[in-house]
Amino acid sequence: MKKVWKWLISLLLLMVIGTGGLAAYGYMEMQPMKRSEQPVKFTIEPGTGTTTIANILEDQGLIKNSFLFKSYLKLKSEGSRFQAGVYEMQPGATYDEIIQKLNSGDVVKAEMIRFTIPEGYTVKQMADKLAEAGYVNKDIFLNLVKESKGIEEAILAYVPESSEFNYRLEGYLFPETYELEKGSSEADIVSRMLQETDKRIKNIPDFDQKLKARGLDFNQLMTVASLVEREVVADSERSLVAGVIYNRIAKDMKLEIDATVQYLLEKPKERLLYKDLQSVDSPYNTYMYKGLPPGPIAAPSLKSIEAALEPEASDYLFYVTKKDGTGEHLFAKTYAEHLQNIKKSKATAK
């Protein structure tokens, strides 16, 4: 009987010693790795489970034992709020520090590119600007906006396809300052600009009703807006010039807008001559053909879009730019008045 008790006591001591050793081992395995100044970068993909995350942390040398880390997560009811992304962590972080970083989504900030597209820019001007900055390949960008292949933004449902277009997406890439991740493709940039146009249009109160009331489709509206953008400097005149465009169309008159000719020239001219007005046979040339061009000739601002949507009513059919440096216009109801305004404009030349 004495031997039995001795054996039991010995077994109990061994179990205590063993348990203590296991606890000591577990404690050591849960301690932070040796601290290092060199960060480790790793990626957590969307939908990644805690088991895989624990394995990644162990593989990257951020924890010693993935099983113990996973057990710690269960003990603390953690792991359900971990966020996907690219992380940088320095070896030496505690379990709690790692958990806090993953919960907060404290990811590596992507390197960004930033560019501004001015109002009234053509897609060629955009391509030149973006290519000069090293953000796009000019030829790829222009081919993309010409054909729009591979672009699947919702707004394209309202942009027709026509062989008469110089570029299908002309006028639909919203002029704004953009920030995108460095390395964004030409398609990424075009998509982002189309999304901005879609957002701005949707923010115009009662847009669909106003468009229907004007009796226009979306492409026609954006075309008028682009004409206003290239013709007008003073904001106060945008709606008035839009009204003149609609008045001339209603009278079955050619629009005779210089900006449409400038759009067709390889390089814009400071002053157009009569021979320039007849130099390019194109449906965009409003000195040769009646009605609107097939599509926009530039990227209109929101103010020009709103002016095209709600023009100012008047009997004006003509306007001429003042030569006094203001960029404003003189408006006329008849051609005789228009000729007088041309004389007035020349008289104010600086």
Rounded Cα–Cα distance for residues 171 and 167 (Å): 9
81-138 tens-digit pLDDT: 999 999 999 899 999 999 999 999 998 888 899 999 999 999 999 999 999 999 999 9
- Indicate the pLDDT class of residue 17, thresholds 50, 70 and 90: very low
Pairing type for strands 112-116 and 177-181 reads antiparallel
Sequence ranges of the chain with CATH classification 3.30.1490.480? 37-109
Torsions phi, psi for 39 (to 5 deg): -70, 155
Rounded Cα–Cα distance for residues 291 and 248 (Å): 9
Please calculate the CA angle 286-293-117 and round it to the nearest 5 degrees.
Answer: 110
The Cα-based distances of 145 to 114, 157, 164 in angstroms read 20, 15, 14
Q: Are 60 and 81 in contact (CB under 8 A)?
A: no
20-57 tens-digit pLDDT: 554 555 566 777 777 877 889 999 999 999 999 999 99
Rounded Cα–Cα distance for residues 1 and 263 (Å): 110
- Separation of CA 328 from chain center: 32
At the second CATH level, the architecture of 37-109 is 2-Layer Sandwich (3.30)
The token pair that represents 2 in the structure block:
């004495």
200-230 tens-digit pLDDT: 999 999 999 999 999 999 999 999 999 999 9
The Cα-based distances of 292 to 14, 220, 231, 318 in angstroms read 95, 7, 14, 16
